[in-house]
Amino acid sequence: MASLSATSLSFKAPSIQSTRISQSISFGRFQSSKSLRLQISCAAKPETVQKVSDIVKEQLALSADTALTAESKFSALGADSLDTVEIVMALEEKFNISVEEADAQNITTIQEAADLIEDLVQKKPAA
């Protein structure tokens, strides 16, 4: 995992992430702010994405073999606002986090939900 400290950046990224980061740096100055963003908030782990997918499938009563990807949009799967709120509640329970209403409204894909979850989990004070 990449880590960010006050004075240095160090990467011990798994191969996929380090490839992505080095690619964006090589494209020149327009990419630099994007690569900085990638360094600070890494995309969510695949396990998190999977757990979110499972919760979404359950809430929307999708068949077990419905192919969901990280990019799947809730609205395209037939979720209305009540479904989205129920999904957020289920995620709060599963990951023991608390989602602000403003953040909850901005979640439109599985990836966004997973990213928010990992962000909140990371910010929790150590037990």
Interface with another protein (CB under 8 A), residue from 45, 66, 71, 124:
66
102 sits near another protein (criterion: CB under 8 A): yes
CA separation (Å) from 19 to 14, 16, 57, 77?
9, 5, 31, 32
Question: Two tokens at 41?
Answer: 């908030």
Nearest C-alpha neighbor of 54 from the set 13, 91, 1, 109: 91
80 is catalytic: yes
| CB closer to another protein out of 38 and 107 | 107
Interface with another protein (CB under 8 A), residue from 4, 16, 76, 121:
76
9 sits near another protein (criterion: CB under 8 A): no
Task: Compute the least distance from the CB of residue 95 to another protein, in Å.
Answer: 15
Q: How far is CA 51 from the centre of its chain?
A: 11
Measured distance CA(21)–CA(108) in Å, rounded: 25
Instruction: Specify the 3-state DSSP secondary structure of 12.
Output: coil
Catalytic (active-site) positions: 80
Which residues in this chain contact another protein in the complex, by CB under 8 A? 58-59, 66, 72-73, 76-78, 80-82, 85-86, 89-90, 101-102, 105
